[in-house]
Chains A and B, each alone.
Chain A
Amino acid sequence: MSELVQQIINGLSLGSIYALIALGYTMVYGILKLINFAHGEVFMIGSYAGYYAATVFGIERYQASGATFPLYMAVVVLVVAMAAAALLGVSIEFLAYRPVRSAPRLTPLITAIGVSLFLQNAAMLVFSPNPRAYPAIIHEVRFEAGGVIITNIKLTIFIVALLLMFGLHVLVQKTWTGRAMRALSVNLDAAKLMGIDTNRTIQATFAIGSALAAAGGILFGLDQITINPLMGVLTGLKAFVAAVLGGIGNIPGAVLGGLLIGLAEQLTAGYLSPDYRDAITFLILIFVLILKPEGLLGVVRQEKV
């Protein structure tokens, strides 16, 4: 029994990270109807940004002397990484997606794949392909209860993810930017005619989504111990599936999808076989798209001729 609870906790923490990344996918798709393939790489670069920020802020000195990295510094690292990722996301939009925004569907898709590939391989050149140990920005403390172990990092993942999602919800529902985002996702052209600055809103969307992904990246590094330049590929894909599962364009759906995918993956790895942990996500994708393409919380869209 405790094994099952352990697997569930592990699954939910992994799922929270997927949820953070899925939010970025779902927001961009809602507005631009574009799968931002490069989002997984933004997650990866956000993680590396946290790594380097921690190094710059002298984490090695702390580790050498046995002291723990202060909490306020951890927050600073998080903010720096999120800002860096936001900048990256906005740049990608401006340089690669905006020029092809009005092209037929295929062109932005290929562009997105190109950006994703570019970032992966550039990262391998710059960061070296070797996996590296993630610095202990948050010192790991373990709690045990009834044979189940939970670490403060996993708790942090839940809390941070919840806070960010709540913040996003407030932003989307209560602010002008959020209202603009919602308008754009209903009808891009009409929103433009209504005087909404589409470019600014789209940039904001990319910035927010990327920042969330970076937060996910740091949490991922802390939880998974090592990072490497290809970490965004599979994780990004799974987060995308999570967004589709929940209903693409639907924010609570992305969260739900993320948690479900995390659980499914962990339970498959634990009880079926670790060899199929990746396959299960793809199977879920295929089933969703064939049986209920609008996702769990999504709305069916009629295609007008």
Chain B
Amino acid sequence: MTEARRPQWLKRALIAAGIVVVLYGLELVVQAVTIEYVQRIMLLAGINVILAVGLNLINGTTGQFSIGHAGFMAVGAYGSAFLGVQLAPIVAGALGSGPLADGVTFNVGLVLGGLLAGGAGLLVGIPSLRLRGDYLAVVTLGFGEIIRILFNNAKFLGGATGYSGDNPAGLPPYTTFFWVFLWVMVVIAVIKNLTFSQTGRSLSAIREDEIAAEAMGTPTVRLKVTAFAFSAAAAGVAGGLFAHMQSGVRPEDFRFERSIDMIVMIIVGGLGSISGAVLGGIFVAVSLELMRDFQEYRLVLYALLLIVIMIVRPQGLLGNREIGEFLRFGKKKSGPELSG
């Protein structure tokens, strides 16, 4: 009886604080031990993981194939960059300058960017998610391109040459190991909870047989749109993190190739698996850097990889199971199998 009275929130808060401390310590280690080049790979890997886990929610768990998510990343990137620049003087006024003010500006910007991206996700999702399969894919591709074209023509955001704030040296480089991996934890936690909940089951049901799910009373449209908005918001947060390690955001960074990279991440890892998405995200970031000298071959290889995986092992690395089941860390219940 006394067990149940120990406050849950205290336990959770302690765990959260512990994670923050560990991450900060890791950051110090990483800064001391590795060169900037390697740090960039790690940051990209973290950003990729957020993208992949977010995309996996809609493509994998809910089975609605979206191939235009680069657009939402762009919304988050531009949103957090622009709003960050607007917010900085206000925050500086209240908190002075220094890491606290920077941290606040950055994270508020990220959250706002994510919300904007989520909003864009709603706008895109509501009309699009009435469509099925191939059509949905092409419409999302179209929306991704339209978003990019809009940014390309938005003069107040720098147009084609991109937005880099009001400092000639570019956007402030807020993105560090600590923030990236903190957000990675947050996003994974949120999406994991969503996936392994009642809502998550309904999403899987929609993937398996939408009409049957509808017949069973699942509010399919509402759920699909919600999942879509969540995944768009995740992409937006990733976009904001990306923007602040690039010193500028350009429409060129969010072409269709970016959406393809995201798809490779979740296909390689396994459509429907969160840990698969994590692995896929790391894979793409690492292979990007390792193949930097062979860039032309990288995309050819990705393409072949997609084709071969589809023919030989369409469920990718982990199918839609989680890594725990392979390493027998714990008893996790898997969702219904993807056929094929």
Contact = CB atoms under 8 A, between A and B. Distances in A.
A and B touch in the complex (CB under 8 A): yes
Interface of A: 33-35, 96, 99-100, 103-111, 113-118, 120-122, 124-125, 233, 237, 240-241, 244, 273, 275-276, 278-279, 282-283, 285-286, 289-290, 293, 303, 305
Contacts of B130: 290
B296 A289 contact: no
Question: Which 5 A-B residue pairs are closest in the complex by CB-CB distance?
Answer: A114-B306, A118-B303, A117-B303, A282-B142, A114-B307
B153 A106 contact: no
Contacts of B263: 110, 113
Contact of B307 (A34, A106, A111, A278): A111
B167 interface: no
User: Taking each of A108, A113, A122, A303, which has the highest tally of chain B beta carbons within 10 Å of its own beta carbon?
Assistant: A113
7 contacts: A96-B307, A110-B306, A111-B310, A113-B263, A121-B300, A233-B256, A286-B127
Given A117-B300, A121-B296, A279-B145, 4 more contacts: A106-B271, A111-B306, A120-B299, A275-B152
Given A110-B267, A275-B152, A305-B211, A282 B146 contact: yes
Contact of B133 (A103, A106, A117, A241): A106
B286 interface: no
B299 A117 contact: yes
B162 to A, nearest CB: 15
Interface residues of B, number: 44
Contacts of A114: 303-307, 310
A278 to B, nearest CB: 6
A285 B300 contact: no
B340 A35 contact: no
B309 to A, nearest CB: 8
Interface in B95-147: 127-128, 130-131, 133-135, 137-139, 141-143, 145-146
A106 B135 CA distance: 11
Nearest to A117: B303
A118 B127 contact: no
Contacts of A279: 145-146, 149-150
B94 interface: no
Interface string B240-269: 000000000000000010001001000100
Given A100-B311, A121-B300, A279-B146, A35 B267 contact: no
Contact of A125 (B297, B311, B338): B297
Contacts of B158: none
A131 to B, nearest CB: 17
A276 B152 CA distance: 10
Contacts of B267: 110
A241 B145 CA distance: 14
B198 interface: no
B339 interface: yes
Contact of A96 (B149, B296, B297, B311): B311
B302 interface: yes
